[in-house]
Amino acid sequence: MDIGYARVSTTKQDLARQLDALAAAGIEAEHIYVDKKSGATTNRPGLQEAMRHARAGDVIVVHTLDRFGRTVRDTLNLVHELKERDIGIRTLADPLAIDTTAPDSSMAQLAFVMLALFAEMERTYSAERVAHARAVATANGRRTGRPSVVDPDKLEHAAMLREKGVPMREITAKTGLARTTLYRHLPPRFVHDPANLGGIDTET
Protein backbone atom coordinates (compact mmCIF):
# COMPACT_ATOMS: atom_id res chain seq x y z
CA MET A 1 0.00 0.00 0.00
CA ASP A 2 1.14 3.55 -0.72
CA ILE A 3 1.02 5.93 2.26
CA GLY A 4 1.19 9.67 1.60
CA TYR A 5 2.94 12.26 3.72
CA ALA A 6 2.82 16.05 3.28
CA ARG A 7 4.40 18.85 5.32
CA VAL A 8 4.56 22.63 5.35
CA SER A 9 6.70 24.67 7.73
CA THR A 10 4.01 27.01 9.11
CA THR A 11 0.27 27.04 9.63
CA LYS A 12 0.01 29.87 7.06
CA GLN A 13 1.39 27.73 4.23
CA ASP A 14 -0.90 25.68 2.03
CA LEU A 15 -0.78 21.89 1.76
CA ALA A 16 -3.04 21.83 -1.30
CA ARG A 17 -0.33 21.29 -3.94
CA GLN A 18 1.20 18.37 -2.09
CA LEU A 19 -2.19 16.82 -1.29
CA ASP A 20 -3.32 17.17 -4.92
CA ALA A 21 -0.14 15.46 -6.13
CA LEU A 22 -0.58 12.60 -3.65
CA ALA A 23 -4.23 12.19 -4.67
CA ALA A 24 -3.23 12.22 -8.35
CA ALA A 25 -0.76 9.41 -7.54
CA GLY A 26 -3.73 7.32 -6.41
CA ILE A 27 -3.30 7.62 -2.66
CA GLU A 28 -6.57 7.70 -0.75
CA ALA A 29 -7.21 10.57 1.65
CA GLU A 30 -7.41 8.28 4.69
CA HIS A 31 -3.88 7.09 3.93
CA ILE A 32 -2.36 10.59 3.80
CA TYR A 33 -0.74 12.09 6.90
CA VAL A 34 0.23 15.73 7.29
CA ASP A 35 2.30 18.04 9.47
CA LYS A 36 2.39 21.81 9.72
CA LYS A 37 5.78 21.83 11.37
CA SER A 38 9.26 23.00 10.49
CA GLY A 39 11.44 20.24 9.10
CA ALA A 40 13.99 21.17 11.75
CA THR A 41 11.79 19.93 14.60
CA THR A 42 11.69 16.31 15.75
CA ASN A 43 8.07 16.67 16.83
CA ARG A 44 6.28 15.63 13.64
CA PRO A 45 3.24 13.60 14.70
CA GLY A 46 2.00 13.19 11.12
CA LEU A 47 5.23 11.53 10.00
CA GLN A 48 5.35 9.41 13.14
CA GLU A 49 1.79 8.27 12.49
CA ALA A 50 2.59 7.43 8.84
CA MET A 51 5.59 5.36 9.90
CA ARG A 52 3.55 3.66 12.62
CA HIS A 53 0.89 2.57 10.11
CA ALA A 54 3.35 1.43 7.44
CA ARG A 55 3.87 -2.31 7.10
CA ALA A 56 6.38 -4.44 5.21
CA GLY A 57 5.93 -3.91 1.47
CA ASP A 58 4.34 -0.46 1.86
CA VAL A 59 5.78 2.73 0.34
CA ILE A 60 5.74 6.19 1.91
CA VAL A 61 5.20 8.76 -0.84
CA VAL A 62 6.14 12.44 -0.53
CA HIS A 63 5.97 15.35 -2.95
CA THR A 64 9.70 16.09 -2.66
CA LEU A 65 12.42 14.68 -0.44
CA ASP A 66 12.82 17.87 1.60
CA ARG A 67 9.31 17.26 3.00
CA PHE A 68 10.60 14.09 4.65
CA GLY A 69 13.90 14.49 6.52
CA ARG A 70 15.40 17.33 8.56
CA THR A 71 19.01 16.85 7.45
CA VAL A 72 20.97 14.48 5.23
CA ARG A 73 21.80 12.36 8.28
CA ASP A 74 18.21 12.38 9.49
CA THR A 75 16.89 11.48 6.04
CA LEU A 76 19.37 8.63 5.62
CA ASN A 77 18.56 7.34 9.12
CA LEU A 78 14.83 7.37 8.35
CA VAL A 79 15.38 5.57 5.07
CA HIS A 80 17.60 2.99 6.79
CA GLU A 81 14.98 2.45 9.49
CA LEU A 82 12.25 1.97 6.89
CA LYS A 83 14.46 -0.29 4.78
CA GLU A 84 14.99 -2.54 7.83
CA ARG A 85 11.20 -2.82 7.99
CA ASP A 86 10.98 -3.47 4.21
CA ILE A 87 9.22 -0.13 3.63
CA GLY A 88 10.14 2.08 0.68
CA ILE A 89 10.15 5.82 -0.06
CA ARG A 90 9.11 7.45 -3.33
CA THR A 91 9.03 11.11 -4.34
CA LEU A 92 6.72 12.63 -6.93
CA ALA A 93 8.23 15.94 -8.00
CA ASP A 94 11.99 15.86 -7.44
CA PRO A 95 14.09 16.59 -10.56
CA LEU A 96 15.79 13.23 -10.03
CA ALA A 97 13.48 10.31 -9.41
CA ILE A 98 13.66 8.79 -5.93
CA ASP A 99 12.35 5.28 -5.35
CA THR A 100 14.08 3.18 -2.71
CA THR A 101 12.03 0.17 -3.72
CA ALA A 102 14.41 -0.14 -6.69
CA PRO A 103 17.60 -1.06 -4.77
CA ASP A 104 19.40 -2.20 -7.91
CA SER A 105 19.12 1.21 -9.52
CA SER A 106 22.42 2.98 -8.81
CA MET A 107 21.07 6.21 -10.32
CA ALA A 108 18.08 6.15 -7.97
CA GLN A 109 20.36 5.71 -4.97
CA LEU A 110 22.69 8.49 -6.16
CA ALA A 111 19.74 10.79 -6.77
CA PHE A 112 18.48 10.11 -3.25
CA VAL A 113 21.75 11.10 -1.57
CA MET A 114 22.21 14.17 -3.81
CA LEU A 115 18.70 15.50 -3.21
CA ALA A 116 18.99 14.97 0.55
CA LEU A 117 22.23 16.95 0.47
CA PHE A 118 20.70 19.73 -1.64
CA ALA A 119 17.71 19.97 0.72
CA GLU A 120 20.02 20.42 3.71
CA MET A 121 22.11 23.01 1.84
CA GLU A 122 18.99 25.00 0.98
CA ARG A 123 17.91 25.01 4.64
CA THR A 124 21.37 26.30 5.59
CA TYR A 125 21.29 29.01 2.92
CA SER A 126 17.77 30.01 3.96
CA ALA A 127 18.83 30.35 7.60
CA GLU A 128 21.82 32.46 6.54
CA ARG A 129 19.60 34.73 4.42
CA VAL A 130 17.22 35.26 7.34
CA ALA A 131 20.11 35.99 9.72
CA HIS A 132 21.61 38.47 7.23
CA ALA A 133 18.27 40.24 6.72
CA ARG A 134 17.83 40.48 10.50
CA ALA A 135 21.33 41.91 10.93
CA VAL A 136 20.75 44.52 8.20
CA ALA A 137 17.40 45.50 9.73
CA THR A 138 18.96 45.86 13.17
CA ALA A 139 21.83 47.93 11.78
CA ASN A 140 19.30 50.26 10.16
CA GLY A 141 17.36 50.65 13.40
CA ARG A 142 14.43 48.48 12.40
CA ARG A 143 12.97 46.00 14.87
CA THR A 144 12.65 42.38 13.79
CA GLY A 145 10.70 39.45 15.12
CA ARG A 146 7.20 39.43 16.54
CA PRO A 147 5.41 42.76 16.99
CA SER A 148 5.39 44.26 20.46
CA VAL A 149 2.38 43.47 22.64
CA VAL A 150 3.30 45.84 25.49
CA ASP A 151 0.31 47.67 26.98
CA PRO A 152 0.72 51.27 25.68
CA ASP A 153 -0.93 52.74 28.80
CA LYS A 154 1.55 50.94 31.05
CA LEU A 155 4.42 52.06 28.86
CA GLU A 156 3.23 55.69 28.97
CA HIS A 157 2.95 55.44 32.75
CA ALA A 158 6.48 54.01 32.92
CA ALA A 159 7.83 56.86 30.77
CA MET A 160 6.16 59.41 33.04
CA LEU A 161 7.65 57.81 36.16
CA ARG A 162 11.03 57.69 34.51
CA GLU A 163 10.92 61.40 33.69
CA LYS A 164 10.26 62.04 37.38
CA GLY A 165 13.41 60.15 38.29
CA VAL A 166 11.72 57.08 39.75
CA PRO A 167 14.20 54.15 39.98
CA MET A 168 13.72 51.30 37.51
CA ARG A 169 12.92 48.79 40.25
CA GLU A 170 10.01 50.95 41.41
CA ILE A 171 8.78 51.42 37.85
CA THR A 172 8.65 47.64 37.33
CA ALA A 173 6.71 47.27 40.60
CA LYS A 174 4.21 50.03 39.73
CA THR A 175 3.60 49.05 36.10
CA GLY A 176 4.07 45.29 36.18
CA LEU A 177 6.36 45.54 33.14
CA ALA A 178 9.55 43.48 33.11
CA ARG A 179 12.83 45.32 33.46
CA THR A 180 14.00 43.95 30.08
CA THR A 181 10.82 45.33 28.47
CA LEU A 182 11.45 48.76 29.96
CA TYR A 183 15.07 48.77 28.82
CA ARG A 184 13.89 47.87 25.31
CA HIS A 185 11.23 50.57 25.06
CA LEU A 186 12.63 53.42 27.16
CA PRO A 187 15.83 55.29 26.26
CA PRO A 188 18.73 55.10 28.74
CA ARG A 189 18.94 57.91 31.27
CA PHE A 190 22.30 59.60 31.87
CA VAL A 191 23.61 62.20 34.34
CA HIS A 192 26.66 64.34 33.92
CA ASP A 193 29.91 62.86 35.20
CA PRO A 194 33.21 64.44 34.07
CA ALA A 195 35.09 61.24 34.84
CA ASN A 196 32.93 59.42 32.36
CA LEU A 197 33.34 61.90 29.49
CA GLY A 198 29.88 63.36 29.77
CA GLY A 199 27.60 60.87 31.42
CA ILE A 200 26.87 57.65 33.23
CA ASP A 201 23.88 55.42 32.95
CA THR A 202 21.72 55.70 36.08
CA GLU A 203 19.71 52.52 35.47
CA THR A 204 18.81 51.00 38.85
- Per-residue model confidence as pLDDT tens digits over 63-99: 988 888 767 777 778 888 888 899 988 889 887 777 8
Higher pLDDT, 24 or 196: 24
pLDDT of residue 195: 43
pLDDT in tens, 144-157: 555 556 777 788 88
Fold held by 2-136 = Rossmann fold (3.40.50)
Domain boundaries, the chain: 2-136, 152-201
Q: Tell me the C-alpha to C-alpha distance, in Å, between residue 17 and each of 6, 84, 92, 113, 191.
A: 9, 31, 12, 24, 61
Active site residues: 9
Q: Would the pLDDT of 191 be above 60?
A: no
pLDDT in tens, 106-121: 666 676 677 667 766 7
Average per-residue pLDDT for the chain: 78
Can you give the pTM of this predicted structure?
Answer: 0.54
Higher pLDDT, 128 or 61: 61
pLDDT of residue 172: 87
pLDDT of residue 10: 72
Q: Which whole number is the average pLDDT over 174-195? A: 68
